[in-house]
Amino acid sequence: YSIIGGALALTIFNLPVMVRVTEDAIRSVPKEQKEASLALGVSKWHTIKTVLIPGAVPSIITGAILASGRVFGEAAALLFTAGLTTPRLNFADWNPFSETSPLNIFRPAETLAVHIWNVNTQGIIPDAEAIANGASAVLVLSVLIFNLAARWLGSFIHKKLTANK
């Protein structure tokens, strides 16, 4: 069980989603824009860089947000790759090879979704429902804040790439 194992599993799960979203975003850019750029004598690479990619960025960012939301809530894959529990972390320990260091990517870890599942299934905590409800609220709020920040960043990047004001 390790953090890197969980990250690799989630990457492999979400890679097809991101590839498909990116392909669809690039195909959704109007053909006339591409042809107009090429008709003006612009090279294919410059057309891709200045016409296709800026036109596809909003859709690509939307797909990335959806894939990230899926990662936030993914618990099943992480149960078998990143682990169920974490060792007590020592934030004074900056050795990346120590089991208690927060910098060690090879140590077991648990996400908030796994923690919620763990609290609900073990039944050894007397106020498990309150803890699970609080953790669920934190998870929902963190996903909401992430989505709002990603939309703002996407809008900012789109304005920079397309010169929209």
Task: Give the model confidence (pLDDT) of 64-113 as tens digits.
Answer: 888 887 777 676 676 666 666 667 778 888 888 888 888 888 887 777 77
If one compares 74 and 136, the residue with the highest pLDDT of the two is 136
pTM higher than 0.75: no
User: pLDDT band at residue 150, thresholds of 50, 70 and 90?
Assistant: confident
Q: Which residues contact 103 (CB under 8 A, 6 or more apart)?
A: 94, 95, 96
What is the C-alpha separation between 157 and 58, in angstroms, rounded?
A: 9
pLDDT surpasses 60 at 119: yes
Give pLDDT, residue 164.
63
What is the C-alpha separation between 82 and 118, in angstroms, rounded?
A: 13
What is the C-alpha separation between 70 and 62, in angstroms, rounded?
A: 13
Give pLDDT, residue 40.
93
* Tokens 């969980």 belong to residue: 6
Domain limits of the chain?
Answer: 3-162
Q: Which residues contact 107 (CB under 8 A, 6 or more apart)?
A: 2, 3, 86, 87, 99, 100, 101
Give pLDDT, residue 151.
82
Give pLDDT, residue 71.
78
Mean pLDDT (whole number) for 110-134: 83
**pLDDT per residue as tens digits for the range 27-63:** 999 999 999 999 999 999 999 998 898 888 888 888 8
Superfamily name with CATH number, domain 3-162: MetI-like (1.10.3720.10)
- For 155, counting Cβ atoms within 10 Å of its Cβ (0-12 exposed, 13-18 middle, 19+ buried), the class is middle
pLDDT surpasses 60 at 165: no
Radius of gyration of the chain (CA): 21
Give pLDDT, residue 44.
93
